[in-house]
Amino acid sequence: FKKLLENQFRTKIMVRCASNFHAKFMLIDPTSKTPNGILATCNFTVKAMKENPEIATQLNPKEVTELFNVFTYHFWEAATDEQTIKHDFAKVKPTEQFSFPKLNKILVTSTVANKNTIKEYLIDSIEKAKEQITISTYAIDKNHELTQLLLKKCKAGVNISIFMRKRKEKIKTHLTELAKAGAKLYLHPLLHSKFFYADDKTGAMFTANFEKHGMDDGFEIGLKLGKKDLPQF
């Protein structure tokens, strides 16, 4: 990665970063008449692209515009470091030129903007679920309010299915209660996808895990999914 930055990016691409950036997306010609974009759960690495169970979705023009506005805000107001021409990175401050945009389909976790709409959307959807909830996540924290809400729903008779990476200690520590309450667990050694849907009516895909770092802080992106976007059985 350092070689890529130094040998190919440094004189051609402006690179800004922050330690809590975790969102994954690509936007192509976002301000043109034919914008294109993809939101993904995978990192842009060979292993993620070729081996991990991941998901991605093509964004429509309105979604591209929304996400580009979110990107612009975080690029200029949330980044902490910028690559320089002198073979290093320099600290940068917010430009104070951009405000956080209004959003319709795009969901975010943004520490800088004090927004947690991924978590808010999931809480609302879980609370409304009556029959079935399916989630996929790389990691889950049993103490997080989302997990506790899932446990409550499971005990109330809602069928809950959880897809997660197979890591023995994490499963033993964080999924035991849900399993005892009746949740069905599906494990894979390379799973990294993150999504949610309930009652075949509402859903979302996102880059955050079911943990504090991601749902409560950092920079993450999600997308609301309607009934037509969900798997039909």
What's the token pair of residue 14?
A: 């402006």
Task: Give 5's DSSP letter.
Answer: I
pLDDT of residue 233: 45
**Residues counted in the chain:** 233
Q: What is the model's pLDDT at position 146?
A: 97
Closest CA to 91 of 18, 152, 156: 18
Given a contact cutoff of 8 angstroms between Cβ atoms, the answer to whether 140 and 171 are in contact is no
Tens digit of each residue's pLDDT, the chain (233 residues): 888 888 888 888 999 999 999 999 999 999 999 999 999 999 999 999 999 999 999 999 999 999 999 999 999 999 999 999 888 899 999 999 999 999 999 999 999 999 999 999 999 999 999 999 999 999 999 999 999 999 999 999 999 999 999 988 888 899 999 999 999 999 999 999 999 999 988 999 999 999 999 999 999 999 999 877 766 54
- Please give the Cα distance from 124 to 101 (Å, whole number): 22
The predicted model scores a pTM of 0.93
Q: Tell the burial category of 34 from Cβ atoms under 10 Å away from its Cβ (0-12, 13-18, 19+).
A: exposed
Give the pLDDT confidence score for residue 171 in this predicted structure: 87
pLDDT tens by residue, 29-81: 999 999 999 999 999 999 999 999 999 999 999 999 999 999 999 999 999 99
